[in-house]
Every structure is written in C-alpha cells, then in structure tokens.
Structure 1
C-alpha cells in the first residue's frame, strides 16, 4: 500500500465483519441483548459478570461541530490554491462525511459534492434523493438533482462550467471509482483531471482536538471490552464464541464494534485464518479490532493467554512490548515515518527475529481516523515527516510459523514535542490489562 492511498477495505476488516456472525450460535436471550441499546439491557445472569459490568459510554460522544467543518473546507480551499486545483469532486465515502457530514453509500447512481476553490459547495444527487440529501448535509443547501433518465455527468459538467472552470483543473478524490471519474471528464473534454489527495489527505491526516477526543474514547472503550471478554474466556470456546462475546460487550457500551479472533497456531498469521479454532489453556489468543465514536474508529490488538503461558510466549511477548515502546520513544515531529518502523524492527531483529520481515512480516503501522486504514504508513521508504496531530497504529509483532504469534497494537498520536498512546500498553502476558 502506498503512502498516498487510502485503504477502505482490508482482509482483516473483512474477517472482523464476518467473525461477528459467530454470535448467531449463541443463545437467543444473549442475541437479543446484543442487538438492543445498552441502556435498555436487563441484567441477565446468562451474561458473564465482566460483560454485565460494562457501562454505556455513547453519551460521552461529542459530535464534530459545523464550525469545525467550515474550517475544514477553508483549509481544503487553501490547499486547492496551493496545488492549482479549481474544483474537487468528492463522492460517497469518508471524505464526503469529513467535509459535509453526509453518510452515503457508493452505488451506480452519482451522489457527491463539488468543492470549488472559492465559493460554497454544490451537491449533486438523484432528484428522488433530494430530501434525504438536505437532511444530511451540514454545510450549504445548494442541491442539484438529476432525473433517472438524465445524464448525471452532464449535470456535474454544467455546475463546473457555471463555476467558470470548464477548462480548469478538476481534482478527483482518490476513492472515486474510475468509471465515475471518466464520466465526469468525458463531459468536460477541455478540463484536466488530477488526484485530489494533496487536498483530502492534507486536511484529514492531521487531527483536531475534537477528533483526537473521539478516537481516544473509542480506543478506551475497545480496551475495556477486551478486558471484559478476557475475564470471560473458558476452555473449549471457539473463535466465533469469543467474537460473539465481543459483540455483546460492545452492545453494552452503546458503541458499534467488532474484532477478529485467532487462537493457538493461527495467531502465527497476522490476519489469522478461517479454519475452525478452539480455546485451549496455555495457548495465545489475539483480539484485533475496534469500534466507532462519532464516526472515528479505534484499532487495538491484544495477545492474551487463558491459564499459564509458556516461557517462549512470555519471551516473545516481552520483545514485542519493547519494540512497541521503542517506536513510541522515536516518534516526534520532524522524524521520518520510516524511522519509527526502523526503531521497532531493530529491537525485534536484535533479539534474533530478523532480518527485515522474516518474523515481523508487516509494516509497523497505518494512519487512522474516520477510516481504520488511512494516510500515512509507518514503513520503510516513507520519508514523510511526522507532524503534531497525526495518528497511527503502533503494532509490532513476531510470528513463528505453525507455532504462535504475538502482536500488540495501540494508537499513537504525535504531540508538540513527542508522541503518546491513547491507551495504556499491555504490561505483561500474565496481566495483559495491568
């Protein structure tokens, strides 16, 4: 994955979404609870005590304000001037939510916003969706509708011509499908299309205090859910059983979330396996996932053991923890992103689990915010510099084929003079939650 590319779907995320279906194997009374808002959940003796003890946190979500969105658009327009972009088209997806507050799915019907370098945004949507579009948008009210027998690209071209940019430079938000970008540019044969990532990434990669607060709430909630589920583990549970417990735990808190779960030798693959798995005492279990608060996501990985871990697991855990700490100590404004990866990788290689990607087989981390994977990446070759407000996963791991793996992941944010984690590190394999 390149440092300029936002990732909207990964194998790991697919696994997370499918694993939660394991809740279907649980008793109906528990499923009913998992699907209900946490404030209305009765105390049910069938639920593990640690999960019953979780408290609702959804009331702590403080939504992004319109004044912040106005500032986001102003910054985008400033960056458009810097990069000689006249209009940016943003289709369905997280960037549309970021700038306008709209939550829209990508389909064959064009809906999006045209953001000019100067002036107010203009929304284009199917005419039958006009009412729902007006309900959702937080900035402006200029909505242009197209009928089912009309060409939406002709309407987009007309709006751009009316803005005075028929021969201008049109930025395409990077997740806009090719067929849509082509349709717009075919309707504007004298215009030039460019990648709008300097604008979208230029705004989104540095988080505001409000964004950081939402991410911190989501991450703290995920950690509480993991601890509650760890305390509820029993020998013989399958990965679907454990994923079901995680789903019910999130339901208690009021924030939507899920996690992939892998057990024993399947922890030796960073993204796990679809093979049936059963919990045996003394073998590692990896939880990896997150939840959303106000649209912003968490991403935490914990490696735990039911019962007594072996000396090998303890030793590997301690090396991974040292690597995560080395990355945290290295991160600060002005440092290259590859340097943070290198600091963690050196600890693992020096401990005998190198060279390079032999046992630590993936990059150290990814950007995170509205999307679980977004700009930038802590990986060799990425010479971009860290800035205050940037957020990344700090997730080193060691994976021993056919035996076990250990990964620890917390979200790192860059401060004015260093970096910090949004959640406490896992201190030991024996007491993974302190």
Structure 2
C-alpha cells in the first residue's frame, strides 16, 4: 500500500464517473457541504486508507468520545481524537507521522490530521495482519487489528479494548457529532479466541478481587509498593484522562510509575481492581500511604463520561470501602485528587457531582452502628457539616 498517494485522485475519478452516468443528482442525495468537519475528516481518512468508516469512528469514540482536548495529552501521553500515543512502550504517534508525512505537531493538535494518522496506523496493522482487500470490506475481520491498536501489555487486555469497540458497533453511536448506526456484527476473533478478556475469573484463576463485583488485573509491581505505612482513612477519587482499557494497560506498564486500586468504566460501571487494598498504589503522592484510589474513565473537561451508571457503581464501591475500614461516608473521608496536599491535579474536576455521589454512597444497605454521627445526625446531611443538603439528581 502506498499510503502517501493523494486521496483526491480516486475521488475525482469517482465523481467524473457519477457525473457522466447521472447528470442530475437524485432527490435523496445528501446536500453538498452538509457534513460537518469531523464527519468529513472520518470519511476522507477511511476512504484514503481503506478502513471501514464506522470502525474508525468507533475506535476514536472508545478512546476519547471524539474529543481532541485541544491538543493536550492523556495520562499515557496520547493525543487527539484517535489517541495517538508516544511513551516508552507505545509509539503510534511517531508511526502515524512516518505513514502520513504529517508533522507530529499537527498530529497532536489538528483533528483532521490526527484522524488521518489513526486511519493510517489501523491500515498499517491490517497489512501486518495480512488482511486482503476483501477482508478489509468486512468490519468483523478487523478485530485483531483493533486489538493491536491498543498496544496493550498483553492479549487479555487487548481483548478488553477490542471488545469495547465492537460493543459500540453493535449498539451504535448516537450521542456524538459523527453517528454510527447499530449493526449485528460478530467479530472474527482469530487468535484472540483462545484468550480470555483481562479480569475474567474461572478455574485456575490465581487471584480474585477483594471487591466481589470487580475484575482482577494486577498492576505492574514497579507501579505500587507492597504493604502500607499507615491505616486506611481516605478514599481518593480520580479521573483517568484516558480510556478504561487504556488505563488498565498503562498501570501494567512499568514505565508509568502510577497505579490505582480500582478503575471504573464509564458506559456500564464495570470495575477492575489492580492493586490490593493492603498495598500502596501510586496515585495521590502524600495520600498514598493512607488512601484507596479509585480511577474513573474519562476526561475532566468532558462531563459526558460521568454517566449515572458510573456514579452508582463507584458509589457502591466507596460504600463497601467505608464500611470495611470504618470510614465516615461523607467528604471528611471521601476526597478528590485535587484536594490532596502536594498535588497539582484538578480531577475529578468541576463537572463531578459531589452531592449526588455522596447521596449514592449513603443510599442502599443498612447503616452500620454509629453511622449517624458521620451524617451530622440528619439523613440528608451528605457533606457532614451538620446541615441538611439539597441534592440535585
């Protein structure tokens, strides 16, 4: 494949052929210029590199919700809508520059260039996977390509990533500038059919999560310390600045030097435990010795990631932690990363609904003995200040 061939060559030929055969466009044709710039960028990149347009959109949506974040990097040092990454383990940003001839600066900050780079990387992987032209026409055949696009530490985490992309294709993407119609796609797993998704439990499982509803995927030993120097007194809430599967992979990467005890998925509230509660995850600097860290999939500046399902799932986890370690279920013990001394982070950010979250932590299940003293003596004092609070749902 010559990826540097100008995309407009084939487009002009196609337009001339249509013009000769159909001098007058049919009444149902899409009006010229009706597509937005994001839609146009996906369509052009998909055509240039022979990548299914819907698959390209689903990969981008799964990574960033199609938000380029003004060229700012993710936690894993990934950029743009397609999350092109440059870190010691993953170099999709540099590979995109080689394949497209686009400057790295443009791939980071220009959305059309970034989408083109993502399409080029997917096609490059497809060629390595020996997908034929006929294969490339079948969305189902791209599963191994999508799994490799994640550049995960292992195939189990790669499956977690690819499964999510194909879930998006099946359900469709409606709440985005670029839409994808749902389709009953059954992915061709190839060698991944022999691999269980990360965190799958069953016979032979070596470790189980402490929180029963969670998966267990161990962080790399370089990213946390065994044991603790202080008792657990605090639950710290974070936002991943990246995708769920990408965060799990990042915590498995020894060069990251970061981790958290739990990671919560945006779409369905799925939870993965990565560090035992009795060990010290590297997530909040000064608070590491005495806190449990919970990462939430998403980006601080985009509230669409903070779904009701995520709130409820995370709140149930925090309720479990508070009950287990005898912590007050209010803002005395439940804090944001931005509230920890010695940190420069802003997560969970201004879009995180603290009143709602604390109300959910206190909902469900019976109150343990003495819990009323943590709630200021009132069942609607969620902040612990001794006054009734108004909660917005």
Q: Which has the higher contact order (CA 8 A, sep 6+)?
A: 1
- Same fold per superposition (TM over 0.5): no
Shorter-chain TM range is under 0.3
By percentage of residues, which structure has more strand? 1
Query: So what's the TM-score if we normalise by structure 1?
Result: 0.22
Query: So what's the TM-score if we normalise by structure 2?
Result: 0.24
